[in-house]
Amino acid sequence: MTIKGKYAILAWFQYISWTKGISPLEFNKCDAKDIKSIMAIHEAIGQKGMREQQISNMMRKMKW
């Protein structure tokens, strides 16, 4: 799923921020680039966790 449109992306970021405990007032005070960088970091951490899980699964399946 790809979110298109400037306002749709902004609304999505606001929703994600709200679920993480950031109030709409705080969100409005933030810079868009700061929010994007935080989301990128969060996504990178999630991807790293998935890669580590895949590696550990493969290592468990190996026969010694």
The larger pLDDT score, comparing residue 24 to residue 53, is at: 53
Give the number of other Cβ atoms within 10 Å of residue 13's Cβ: 19
Share of the chain above pLDDT 70, in %: 94
Tens digit of pLDDT for each residue in 30-40?
Answer: 887 887 787 78
Give the residue from 55, 9, 2 showing the smallest Cα distance to 36. 9
Note the pTM of the prediction, 2 decimals: 0.55
The whole-angstrom separation of Cα 30 and Cα 50 is: 29
Q: Which two tokens stand for residue 36?
A: 């994007």
The whole-angstrom separation of Cα 43 and Cα 33 is: 15
User: What average pLDDT does this structure show over 17-44?
Assistant: 83
User: What average pLDDT does this structure show over 4-11?
Assistant: 80
Under the banding of pLDDT at 50, 70 and 90, the label for residue 48 is very high
